[in-house]
Structure formats: C-alpha cells, structure tokens
Structure 1
Amino acid sequence: MGFEPGAIVFTMLIKGLCLSGDIKKALQFHDTVVAYGYQLNEFSYAILINGLCKVRQTKAAMQVLRKIGGKVIQLDVVIYSTIIDRLCKDKLVTDAYNLYFEMVANGISPDVVTYISLIYGLCLVGQWKEATDLLSEMVLKNIKPDVFTFSTLIDALCKEGKVKEATNVLALMIKDGVKPNVVTYNILLDGYCLINEVNKAECILDNMAQGGVTPDVQSYNIMINGYCKNKMVGEAMNLFKEMHHRNMVANAVTYNSLIDGLCKSGRISYARELLDEMNDRGLPASVITYSSLMDALCKIQQLDKAIELDVKIRDQGIQPDVCTYTILIDGLCKGGRLKDAKEVFQDILIKGYQPNVYTYNVMINGLCKAGLLDEALTLQSKMEDNGCTPSAITFNTIISTLFENNENEKAKELLGEMLARGLLRG
C-alpha cells in the first residue's frame, strides 16, 4: 500500500514531537491518527520507533512494537534493529539478545546493522569473547562486517587489555578484504601504548604506511604520549620533528604531552620553550600543562620561579586548580619555606577552594617535619570539619611524628582511632 498524503504529514509531526522529547504527546497523536482511519505503514512506524529510541524512550518503543506486531503491519529488520541498537547503547544487552532471538524466530534475518549493534553492546559491557563469537557468526552467514564493526571490536579488546587478540581481529579484517582506516590503526596504537608496549605500537605505525593509510595528528599524539609515559622523550621529540617535516600541524594535545614528558625528564628549559611556542601559536595551554611545569620547578627547588609561574597563570586568566596549589605547597614545604606554604594554603581557603585529602596531607607533613605538632593536629581536626576524611597517610604522618617526639600516649590514642576507622590492615 502506498503513502496517503495525510499519513505522511502525521508521521513527520510525530517524529518532530519525539525528537523534541514530548513522547506522551507523540503517542497520543499517533493514537488519534489511527483513530481517524489513517493506516501507517512499516516506514511510518520505523520513524516513530526510531524517534522514541533517539530520546531513549525504549520502553515506549517496545510498547509500540507489541501493539503493531502482526496486527497492524508485518515487523521488519529495520524496526527490530532500531530497538536492539538502543537497548545495546543503554547496556541492556540481555534484552537486546532476547529481541534478536524473537526476530529470528519470526523468520526475520538479521542484517549488518543488527550485528553491529549487538557487537557494540557486548563490547560496552566488556563481553569481548561473545562479541568476537558474534563477529565469526556474522562472517559465516556471509554478512560482511564493515570497518566500523571491526574497529568497534578492536577498540573493546584494547580497552580490556587484550591487544594481541585485537591485532588478530585486524588480521581477520584484512583477510576479509575490509581495509582498516586511520581510526582502526589509532585504536591499536593507543592499545599498545596503554600496556606500555611502545615498540609494538611503532610496528603498527609502520604498517599503516605499508597499508596505504596516512597517520594523522591523533596517530602522532598517541605515539608521542606513549613515548613520554615510558620516559622515551627523545623518541617523542623525533616524532614531533617528523610532524613538522610532513607539514602536520601539532595541536594542544601534542604540546601538552611533550611538555609533561620534558618536565618529568628534567628538561625544563626546553619545556618552557615549547610552552612559549604553544602560546605564540594561539594554542590554549591548560592548567594541567602549567601544573606539570610547576611540579618540575618544585622538584629542582626553583621555588621563586614556581611562584612566578603561579602569578603568570592567573595573569593569563587561567584558574589554577587544587592540584596546582598542592604541588606548590608541597614544593615550598620540602624546600624549607613553610611560612610561604602556609600562606598559599590559607590563600586557597580564602578563595573558596576545597582542599582534598592529598592537599591536607602535604600541609600536615610539612608541619610535622617542622616540629609543629599542635598545628598539625589542629589542621587534622579542621580537615574533618571541612568534610575531608583523613586517610591512613594522614594518621601515619602524625603518629610517626608523635612517637619521634616521645608523645607515646597521644600516638597510641591516634593509633586506636585509626584502627576504629578501619584504616589499619593486616
């Protein structure tokens, strides 16, 4: 049966209501349309169900499915797959599978969209083996997986740390004549870097070129970050230079990774040069970038420069976070500048920051090292008043100092409190 002009208009209106989130009105309008004798066909109901699924009204979509199935129209693979996809995205994979089996039992063959949805859902809930089995079933039924299907499974395996298995899927993908794209390769690059197998990631990068796929900025960013995390800053800088030779424009992610790596390897002057280059290019340096530089300055006791950096950050309109200030407080305490550390700590309280347990621990440790036990105990009390629960480190720091100062009774009292809080194990 063809479209009736009125039915088309009504269907579009229903779709609009669904997309605007007015689900109740959409369903009421649908009932009114049907009551007036307009017969909506498979396409119309597919639009309605798709609209419901897009606004995550899966229950309503199921109600429509049950209402029309075998009565108003014959359900098809599009309608089933639409709901299966939404169920999978909502991680309701068991429900999705039940609907899949119902579809098959009704003689409707799943298509590539059905399989992609189920594989994606299984990956979301970490059932990578079942996802791999489903991919094999898909191949056996001569339903050709596309690059997105393979890439979804590869991504899930990598997130599970199953990078070797992910590489096997890549091999299967190539064998089946599906060409991996830059996204596929980037997923594998990231997977190997996450398990600190940067050398194998290098091989993947080489394979990209051999397979006719050109690495993009993200490919280089993944590798540069991987090198920096593995303290291979020289290799990261070589890749950075290679980007320039290839006329690839480095972005903020590139610079942030390099600056962090250079700072951690003690190459602060070079890190500052890159930061200046980043600013000259109009790329936004984040508070994390500045925190990396501040941490490096504090570690080599260039505390005045660290304080200058704090001023510079604020002058540029970047608001330092609790982590940045904690780094500065820790550096000042370890550098014997407790007075300055206390001023910074008080300053962040005045500005309305909520110090975390690590901030308090750093300050308490500084006070204990300076022999200011009463102040340390007072700060621990204030810490709790401000809604921050002391950790085992908090208690250990104070208790150790109390024993060192022969205040054994107070130390034993705190030890008992620590035990009562369940902070002592074994």
Structure 2
Amino acid sequence: MELRGIQRDIINLSILINSFYHLCQLNYAFSVLAKILKIGYQPDTVTLTTLLKGLCINNEVKKALHFHDDVIAKGFRLDNVSYGTLINGLCKSGETKAALSCLERLKGWWWLSQISLFDAYDLYCEMVVKRIFPDVVTYNTLIYGFCIVGQLEDAIRLFNEMRLKNIVPNVCSFNILIDGLCKEGDVKGGKSVLAVMIKQSVKPDVVTCSSLIDGYFLVKKANKARYIFNAMAQNGVTIDLRSYNIMINGLSKAKMVDEAVILFKEMQFKSMTPDTITYSTLIDGLGKLGRISYVWDLIDEMRATGRSANVITYSSLLNVLCKSGHFDTAIRIFTKIKDKGFEPNMVTYNILVDGLCKNGRLKDAQEIFHDLLIKGYRLDVRLYTVMINGLCREALFDEAYGCTPNAVTYEIIIRALFKNDKNKLQ
C-alpha cells in the first residue's frame, strides 16, 4: 500500500483486515490489527467482529475467547453481532455453558418472555443443585435460548428432559421447538414435534402453523405450505397478518406472484390492513418478474393508506428500476430518500451500483462509490467486486487494480485481462 502511494488510514487498514479474513489469512489480518494499534488508530466493532468470526470458523474458540477478553480489557466495545458470532462458535464447538455465560453481556439486548436467558440458566443450575425441579417457564426460556443460538440438539434434549420429569409442555414449548427446527430447514423434525403436540392434546395455534408454513417454503415445498395455510381456517385457527406475510413472501420467492396478489386482496377483503412488510415483499416479487406497472400501483396505494416505506421497500424498488432500465428514475428516488433522512444500507448501494455498472452507467456508479469512500462508509467486499467488475467491462484495469480485492475479485480481473489479451490477438 505504502509503496503504491495509497494512504495508510483506518479505512484502508480495516478493509485490508476484511480482505485477509475472506482469503483465510488470519495471521496477516492480526498483523494489520497490530499495525492499527501501534499507529494509535481505534479499530471499530465491525473489524473486531471480523477477527472473532475468523477465529471461530477456524475452530480456535479458546483464542476467540482470549481475544474477546483482551479487547474488552483494552476498552473497546463489542455489540450483539460480536457476541452472536462468539456464542455461535462456542456452541458449534460444544462449549455450550461458556456460550450461555456470554449471554450475560447481552442482557438488555435479548429479553425473553419473562426472564432473560442468562437469568433462566442461572436459575436452572441453582435448582438442579438444590434438587428443585425447574418449571415450564424456565424450560421454555432455555429451549428458546438454545434455538436462537442454533444449538437444536440441546434444545431437544431439554424438551425431552422436561417431559421425563413430568413437566407438561404447553403450547409455547411446542411452538418454540417447531419454529427452531423449521428455521433450520428440518420440517420433518418440526412435524414430529407437532405429532407429539397433538398426541398430548395441545391444540396447534396460528404460531405453530405459521412456523411450519415458513419451514416448507424454506425447503421449497410451496404446495405443502399452501395446504397448511388452507387447513388453518378449516381447523378453527384464526389467520393473522404474520401468517399472510409469510405466505406472500414464500409465494413471491417461489415466483408464484399471482397467488401472492390474490392473498393480498383476500386479506384486504377481510378488513386486514397490510403493513410495510406486506407491501415490500410484493414490490420485490412483482419487480423481479418485470411487472413494473403493478409495482407503481402498490407504491401509490402505500401513499394513499399512509404506509411509510422503509429501506427494504426502497431497495426493492431500486432493484426493479435498475433491472427495467429506468436508471434516471432510480437515481432520482435514491437522492430523494436520502434527502428525506433515510440511510440506505449496503444492500441498497450494491443494487444501485451493480445496476449502473451492468448497463454502461459507469460514471454514475463511480460517483456513488467515491461519495461513499469520501464520507467514510465501511464498504463490503461485494460492493468492491461489483465496482471492479464494472471497471473491467470498460477495460479500465488500472482503476480496477486500485480496489481492495477478495478471491472473487481476483477472478474477475484475471478473466477480464485474459479476454482483453485475447481480443488483441484477433
């Protein structure tokens, strides 16, 4: 960097750490961190989380814990994403107790229905020591905790332990476990828990059905999802807004948008008011199929009903406009939402820059990209790769070399250079 005249600042060094992480070169990443600290710069939370994640992925969880303690001792801050990364790594390596202990630091971020997971775990341990049986609330809290950190085997173990100790699971117990299994794509496991639920005369409710519907869409079984949705009313289960949103989202992603629109109209007929999630999902689904006029109708309807668009809505709209070639409109809306005080996320920027690059609007893409750099935004590798791909399309290889790469980025540059040399030979 220094030999090429690139300024050695915190942004460039942080990007370098991220790149070394993606290239699985953790030793180099930590060397850069040492350089940052030596110069006197302050690494941000994202950089520290990247290093934590790298250690966990390489099964070096003890080093990750030591790094965590060192970071805290030096006065740096970690957030819920940092702890989620560490907890996930600990759980996957079998260090469940250490993972649950880490949740104490998340107190105030993750609150469960009655007591926090950390308090529940302490209470549970104390009860076991004193030979007092925990109640259903304690078990539900712990089962939920294990589910959110992806430790389903422990969640199932606790569920079975609860039943063996003659503590009767309630509808919440079953729903937590069914939802956890379905979110991991284990719908078969979710159905097995449902069978136990019915056998114990616990009536499935709207949460149970919604979890199964979501799970079936996740494993690309739309017909089974539709069957459960249609059976809900027949079995006396009241369909709520969340159920409709799950169905509309699943159908849209399965490119069954016409059915999604029918459900959208059905919920309005039943005097159920669609929310921003409903509109954003449909806008995204219709846009991906090129049905622009329907998208604008939905935008107008949102305005008329007083629904506020969010970043997801605008990202979906920009994606639609870029794919349909309406770049001037996309840039105008992008500017408008920033003027309104909305802060676009990296997904939004990726969509816009990618669309502009792919359609020869490289100057506009570069202006957005450079504006982000000047304002100190932390750009992800995907955005760099998108920009480099656009530069290579125009044979601007020197500019492409100036961007921080990952493995995919190198592949793009090599492929473009090879194609350029091949054209020169012809």
The TM-score bracket by the shorter chain reads: 0.5 to 0.7
Task: State the Cα RMSD in Å.
Answer: 3.1
Q: Which one-letter code corresponds to 1:337 in the other structure? A: R
| Structure 1 residue 114, shift from structure 2 partner | 4.6
1:241-269 deviation per Cα after TM superposition (whole angstroms, max 9, x unaligned) = 11011111110111111111111111122
| Structure 1 residue 145, shift from structure 2 partner | 1.8
Structure 1: tracts of 5 or more residues without a match: 1-52, 58-84, 384-389, 408-426
* C-alpha contact (below 8 Å) 1:182/1:216 kept by paired residues: yes
| Counterpart position of 2:355 | 331
| Structure 1 residue 96, shift from structure 2 partner | 7.3
| Counterpart position of 1:25 | none
Change (3 A) 1:340 1:98: closer
| Counterpart position of 2:370 | 346
- Which whole-Å CA distance do the structure 1 matches of 2:153 and 2:345 have between them? 42
- Which whole-Å CA distance do the structure 1 matches of 2:378 and 2:166 have between them? 58
- Which whole-Å CA distance do the structure 1 matches of 2:415 and 2:152 have between them? 48
| Counterpart position of 2:117 | 89
Structure 1 segment 52-91 matched on structure 2, within 5 A: 89-90=117-118
| Counterpart position of 1:375 | 399
* C-alpha contact (below 8 Å) 1:322/1:353 kept by paired residues: no
Does residue 161 of structure 1 match 2:185? yes
Change (3 A) 1:150 1:103: farther
Change (3 A) 1:169 1:401: closer
| Counterpart position of 1:399 | 414
| Counterpart position of 2:91 | none
| Counterpart position of 2:129 | 102
Which has the larger displacement, 136-145 or 340-349?
Answer: 136-145
Change (3 A) 1:111 1:266: same
- Which whole-Å CA distance do the structure 1 matches of 2:387 and 2:149 have between them? 41
| Counterpart position of 2:4 | none
TM-score, length-normalised on structure 2?
Answer: 0.65
Q: Which one-letter code corresponds to 1:290 in the other structure? A: Y
Structure 1 segment 19-418 matched on structure 2, within 5 A: 89-90=117-118, 99=126, 101-104=128-131, 108-124=132-148, 126-129=150-153, 131-132=155-156, 134-136=158-160, 138-139=162-163, 142-377=166-401, 379-380=402-403, 383=404, 390-406=405-421
| Structure 1 residue 370, shift from structure 2 partner | 1.4
Q: Which one-letter code corresponds to 2:117 in the other structure? A: K
Equivalent residue pairs, number: 313
- Which whole-Å CA distance do the structure 2 matches of 1:344 and 1:115 have between them? 51
| Counterpart position of 2:92 | none
- Which whole-Å CA distance do the structure 2 matches of 1:203 and 1:154 have between them? 18
| Structure 1 residue 236, shift from structure 2 partner | 0.7
Q: Which one-letter code corresponds to 1:89 in the other structure? A: L
| Structure 1 residue 359, shift from structure 2 partner | 2.1
| Structure 1 residue 306, shift from structure 2 partner | 1.9
Q: Which one-letter code corresponds to 1:401 in the other structure? A: A
> Secondary structure of the equivalent of 1:161?
coil
Change (3 A) 1:130 1:367: closer
Q: Percent same amino acid among aligned pairs?
A: 53
> Secondary structure of the equivalent of 1:183?
helix
Change (3 A) 1:336 1:214: same
Change (3 A) 1:368 1:220: same
Which has the larger displacement, 139-148 or 227-236?
Answer: 139-148
- Which whole-Å CA distance do the structure 2 matches of 1:365 and 1:125 have between them? 36
Change (3 A) 1:138 1:399: closer
| Counterpart position of 1:43 | none
- Which whole-Å CA distance do the structure 2 matches of 1:399 and 1:275 have between them? 42
Change (3 A) 1:212 1:397: same
> Secondary structure of the equivalent of 2:301?
helix
- Which whole-Å CA distance do the structure 2 matches of 1:354 and 1:227 have between them? 34
Which has the larger displacement, 362-371 or 269-278?
Answer: 362-371
| Structure 1 residue 130, shift from structure 2 partner | 5.3
Q: Which one-letter code corresponds to 2:176 in the other structure? A: T
- Which whole-Å CA distance do the structure 2 matches of 1:339 and 1:285 have between them? 29
- Which whole-Å CA distance do the structure 2 matches of 1:121 and 1:342 have between them? 44
- Which whole-Å CA distance do the structure 1 matches of 2:189 and 2:419 have between them? 54
Change (3 A) 1:143 1:269: same
| Counterpart position of 2:84 | none
Change (3 A) 1:275 1:120: same
* C-alpha contact (below 8 Å) 1:268/1:293 kept by paired residues: no
Q: Which one-letter code corresponds to 2:416 in the other structure? A: T
